[in-house]
Chain A
């Protein structure tokens, strides 16, 4: 027997029955796309087309179209890559780590967050491909037996570790997301009104029959995948941080990087989840499932991880002075007061100061503030990577090679590409797949509803009552 303490706030409001949950979530998958959806989708596709043209030109013409120079050899490309990978972390944190910690509030947001993870990782990967210049040779990053003589991957390089870390992470996230989708796909299959969608959702549901045995397996595999995904999510940004920290560049080589990058990744990922969920919540009228409690909990995670990042910034700054290493001290003073002081100031304000506003209960329960601060946080996290990469590089050991970086329209266009790509995929997801995990929300309905209806199973409503799509007696 499970007991829920009366001090716990409810997670589902509006006295929902199981039938209501199915109805509220499936409605959007089954209905025709709304006008708002079309508007958003068309904008995303237009952005994607523009971005694709820029990426095409980058590949056609070569990386010379970017603003890189011989001193600043990494700038927007790697900034964007790290930024997107970081954003991806929140999905895994919600689906895996919060599952291990048995946090019931994850059930309403895990589906969309995991989808976001997958799309964000794809965006990140696109920058790796762009940065390769010759993407058709991308498989050279894998240790494949070949006839090219001595060509072999350099296992000493953290960039190679990245290839393994991110591809493993992507695969596990995808499997995790898909397994979680199966019971819901079966629900949609069973409700489908035409043969095409019954066939498509039916094939995707892989013959799920909802028996006790399949549910037991579902829970088993979820735990196993959560166990696998938890170390993976730490390892991915750890290895991303090692792309910098294994070097001897002042401002990059600092031992705190691995956990600090992981915290920063979760920080920006949660901010992105907030942005996506707040919009989805309003457009799809999911206020009963994504309540202020959910928003508040996520804001608490944002404050926690933002503060961890803040402590790391202060630690870096302090140790740079404490070490007595001239180059290290200079790198940090140059960050704060050099020509890129504005980037540093943006980073500090957005990442360290702004999440502290969430100490106010009124602000962390305000939808407007949450949306605003989440945008700010992601701006800050982009600048963090920009500051780390560009300010450390632009002051070389040789003052004669000191340089500045200025982005070209292709730096910007390729970044825009990733937005088009991300939002196109997310909008397709939100139209064709259930944005909330119905099965898992139903699992917490009894323990976490504000008020339980008289009969929690509920009955189908309206048209579905008079003409049911699925007749058990026939089969």
Chain B
């Protein structure tokens, strides 16, 4: 399809225009305004909702009667919202690193041409790290039941022997150490890979390529463990009693397909802005296949976890789905099904055909479906255990999504300006430019 003469220049500078910056600032501003309005409404109407909460809580939903009243605090909902978005965007950012790492390890050629996009994503990690750290310090008690000292004190009436049994893992110092290790290892390895990639742009050769394979592999080893443990820490420990061995890979599958959707969406958007002319239909189709395949993979993991818990019907496990399906007055039932619809049925049907995977508009619709869907995925995993019956979907939720999206786009855009949009000396670039799977 693409003959030698048809390949456009590989010299492309991305310009982060002041118009785009203004739009992002306005977007963030609107988000902030919505959060403030939403918070004001919640703060004034919270007494009413808290009363309902005490009634609505399903069996086992609130682990201790006293906690239910406490959860009525509208600040909990603010913290939980920040946490949902921060965890989600941490995942999307780190998947940029994951994607380049496994592409290096697998000696992939086709992806070289748009490699700068996943490479730009992990720059957002320090932002989410600070946000999560601050949220944990200020709102940790609202989000994480296990941060309450009295659960571990046998003399206290709130003593919980099961949670006390987890103390050597679930305690604040160790949690913080782990969090620092995750972000530090992910970010530092990304910095190394990024610098090697930028140096390759300047001096060429294959030394940096081989080094990148090594560091990429090192990251995969680190991520093999930290992806699971971070999922236990950031999400699973919110429902402190509950456990599932699948949960680490489940969260990884969720992060992964979201990250792929962001990469695809960014490639498509840049093409529509006139950049990345060297990306052809074959690249788009392969990106589409990745989103298609890994949305099915996520569904596989989701279903395997659900089926096994449903089938065995052990109370300590099944309560997780029970509280999401019919607990808290059923308020989480809609997100539960939206999650499945947007993450499986819709992308599955839309991306099924060959031509749809190289059509900009269809790719965009499918990627947005996956991205909105996985927001609901984290929403249904985090909200019931933290805000319980006080959850909902209003200005606060929309506002925080808007703030995080604008901040993330800002971060990626400013990273993209720092290097040529196409890694001009990548040893696989020639293969990638001629990528043709017609």
Contacts and interface: CB of A to CB of B under 8 A. Distances in A.
B284 to A, nearest CB: 16
A162 to B, nearest CB: 15
B308 A255 contact: yes
B308 A316 contact: no
B428 A5 contact: yes
Nearest to A7: B427
Contacts of A246: 307-308, 311-312
A310 to B, nearest CB: 9
B82 to A, nearest CB: 26
A101 B161 CA distance: 50
6 contacts: A234-B300, A246-B307, A258-B304, A258-B308, A300-B105, A324-B166
Residue of B169, B243, B301 with most partner-chain A CB within 10 A: B243
Contact of A5 (B304, B316, B430): B430
> 8 shortest A-B CB distances, which residue pairs?
A256-B245, A255-B246, A258-B304, A324-B162, A323-B243, A246-B311, A3-B434, A7-B427
A5 B246 contact: no
Contacts of B307: 242, 246
A176 to B, nearest CB: 19
A315 B228 contact: yes
Interface residues of A, number: 37
Interface of A: 1-8, 101-102, 231, 234, 238, 242, 245-248, 253-259, 300, 307-308, 311-312, 315-316, 319, 322-325
Given A1-B4, A248-B314, A322-B166, A8 B107 contact: yes
Contact of A319 (B243, B301, B434): B243
| SS class, residues of chain B in contact with chain A | helix
Interface residues of B, number: 47
Given A8-B107, A248-B314, A258-B246, 11 more contacts: A1-B3, A3-B434, A242-B307, A248-B312, A253-B314, A255-B304, A259-B301, A315-B248, A323-B243, A324-B162, A324-B165
Interface string B213-252: 0000000010011001000100000000101111111000
Interface string B295-327: 010001100110111011010100000000000
A179 B437 CA distance: 22
B243 to A, nearest CB: 4
A357 to B, nearest CB: 15
A247 B241 CA distance: 21
A1 B308 contact: no
B187 interface: no
Interface in B71-129: 105-107, 109
Contacts of A242: 307-308
Nearest to B311: A246
B311 A255 contact: no
B257 to A, nearest CB: 15
A116 B2 CA distance: 40
Nearest to A262: B300
